[in-house]
Structure 1
Amino acid sequence: MATLREAIERQTALALACGALHPIETAHTFIDDGGMRFYVRVAGNLARKEAARLTPQTVVASGSQPPRDPFLPYEPDLFVGDLTPTHVALLNKFNVIDQHLLIVTRRYEPQEAVLDAADFTALIAALREIDGLAFYNGGAAAGASQPHKHLQMVPLPLAGEGPHVTPLEALLGSAQTVHGARPIAIVPGLAFRHAFARLDLGRGKGITDDAVHVALDCYRALLDAAGVPAIDVGGVAHQGAPYNLLVTRQWMLVVPRTAECVEGISVNSLGFAGSFFVRNAAQLQTLTQLGPMTALERVSVAR
């Protein structure tokens, strides 16, 4: 039986060959700021992605007609495999990072719904096979571009070279516990509101109820500590504020959000891990002058 990584590699080759996958070519540079070395990708050509936004299937014909859900049905050529009975793994059609995986609910669920045990079962299944960074953009203000619930995962390292960690790891060693009942911590180098916790999702091959409950309980505690309430919407728990979630095998981080962009630069979960994507040289200059840490502060809640 093929591993998840083998399935991703095989499907990537097939999707490239048939034209279903459209990687965005980038150059890269580094910006040192606030004790982190941020990895910044600069787009080389966005023409195909821009054109795709204008295709008939993505255009809303009238104000009463919602935009098409790209995951119902999903493109067969982007299908990597079944992760669990409730989630499938798909390739990100317009990927900036190689082997960028989408973890998508089989049935429609709103992106603003609070993550549940089924979501964490699928997330852990992916992380057990691939040492990566999983993340969730909770709402449009947090960088979510689709309303259908989906987590995402990219392999480590984010820079494609160097230590097998995220740039954020440079600050995590100084994390200070603030909630004794559960080891919730803050990271002194992060000037915006957040909640951080260490955990171990890498042991064992099977997905046990205990592992799922530990991750789910940690997530709920982080939301609470970060000031992201759960609200009832039609009998389903939804987030009461936008936020980003980052998860590796070793830790979990929640960051509440106030805005999706700063100076026209979109910021999603990857920004808080230390990875930015800018569309052109002008945006790179803006980010360099502003500073990545200041950019993160301006789209987040003050601590």
Structure 2
Amino acid sequence: MPRTERLWQAALERSDQACRQGSLVPLITRLVSPEGWAPFQLRRLCSATPKHLRAAGPRANPFLPWDPPLEVERLGESHVLLLNKYPVQAGHVLLITQRWAAQNGWLEAADWRSVLAVDQDTTGLWFFNSSAQAGASQPHRHLQLLPRHRGEPSCPLEPALRAQLRGDAAPWPWLYQLRARAAGETASDLATHYREGAIALGLGDPAAAGTPPPPYNLLFCREWFLMIRRRQEHVAGFSINALGFAGYLLLTEHSNLDWLKAHGPWALLEAVATKVP
């Protein structure tokens, strides 16, 4: 099915309206010149720290109900595509369940069907933070999408990921599963990547009922599917979610820039991921 990017255009148009209404609060950031951390992109947060990055106690669920000005499109009765209230780029969207589903529960068939329905129109870099320990800011299930045009690199670490797939680079020293995707994959294929990756990482079997799995991140695009097992959320004042493993880092007032200069970004990832036994 040809990609029309209709949903991306709808998200951009909705963003303009939501900004005028004050419902959308884009993060203002500035790219920091590399000092030994290329190809990672480090951005300094210049605007006020959004609520989801502040230390806080229990919060109301912002998705039940969701803010109508942020709605892009409903996908049947199971999911809805929303603008991220605090976007890191224009068109940054969330795919949420219309009814309550726990972020730290296993992703299900309906989640993958909805992902595929969006991706057939607007593709890009998908990511998922399974719990607070993996960088999730909300307990209600949501996957996130940073749209990309056809042929556009998905993220700064795209070359490193391709080198891993070719076998041209040494494995990373933490627990992860990276696999190539084939053209024309179905929702069932995505679910298979997810299930096999989870089992290989010792997270459990998504097909079996039980307690929530240990924290993990997902990152995927049309070419690859990456799953990382996590052990903590932050180090040296840097909050690391799935985007850290894509090469995107955010410098806030709490971040220790001297630590990053001394140890480098790969040390950040190694510190928050589960190490290879």
Under a length normalisation based on structure 1, what TM-score does the superposition of the two structures give? 0.80
Q: Structure 1 residues 231 and 211 mapped into 2: Cα distance closer, same or farther (>3 Å)?
A: closer
Q: Tell me by how many angstroms 1:237 deviates.
A: 4.6
Aligned counterparts of 2:181 and 2:269: Cα–Cα separation in 1: 25
Q: CA RMSD in A?
A: 3.0
Aligned counterparts of 1:74 and 1:238: Cα–Cα separation in 2: 27
Q: Contact conserved, 1:113 with 1:236, CA < 8 A, in 2? A: no
Pairing partner for 2:125 from 97, 110, 133: 133
Aligned counterparts of 1:301 and 1:30: Cα–Cα separation in 2: 29
Q: Contact conserved, 1:131 with 1:249, CA < 8 A, in 2? A: yes
Q: Which runs of 5+ in 2 are unaligned?
A: none
What pairs with 1:66-145 in structure 2 (closer than 5 Å)?
67-145=59-137
Q: Which runs of 4+ in 1 moved over 6 A?
A: 51-54
Aligned counterparts of 1:23 and 1:263: Cα–Cα separation in 2: 25
Aligned counterparts of 1:141 and 1:125: Cα–Cα separation in 2: 29
Aligned counterparts of 1:33 and 1:189: Cα–Cα separation in 2: 21
Q: Which residue of 2 aligns with 1:181?
A: none
Q: Tell me by how many angstroms 1:211 deviates.
A: 0.5
Q: Which residue of 2 aligns with 1:149?
A: 141
Q: Tell me by how many angstroms 1:188 deviates.
A: 2.4
Q: Which residue of 2 aligns with 1:42?
A: 44
Deviations 1:181-207 (CA, angstroms, capped at 9, x unpaired): xxxx99625221100111136x4xxxx
Q: Contact conserved, 2:31 with 2:42, CA < 8 A, in 1? A: yes
Is the counterpart of residue 224 in structure 1 residue 199 in structure 2? Answer: yes
Specify the code of the residue in structure 1 equivalent to 2:153: H
Q: Structure 1 residues 109 and 152 mapped into 2: Cα distance closer, same or farther (>3 Å)?
A: same
Specify the code of the residue in structure 1 equivalent to 2:24: L
Q: Contact conserved, 2:195 with 2:206, CA < 8 A, in 1? A: no
Aligned residues: 272
Q: Which residue of 2 aligns with 1:5?
A: 8
Q: Structure 1 residues 15 and 186 mapped into 2: Cα distance closer, same or farther (>3 Å)?
A: farther
% same residue? 32
Q: Which residue of 2 aligns with 1:288?
A: 261
Q: Structure 1 residues 260 and 171 mapped into 2: Cα distance closer, same or farther (>3 Å)?
A: same
Aligned counterparts of 1:18 and 1:119: Cα–Cα separation in 2: 30
Under a length normalisation based on structure 2, what TM-score does the superposition of the two structures give? 0.87
Q: Structure 1 residues 270 and 240 mapped into 2: Cα distance closer, same or farther (>3 Å)?
A: same
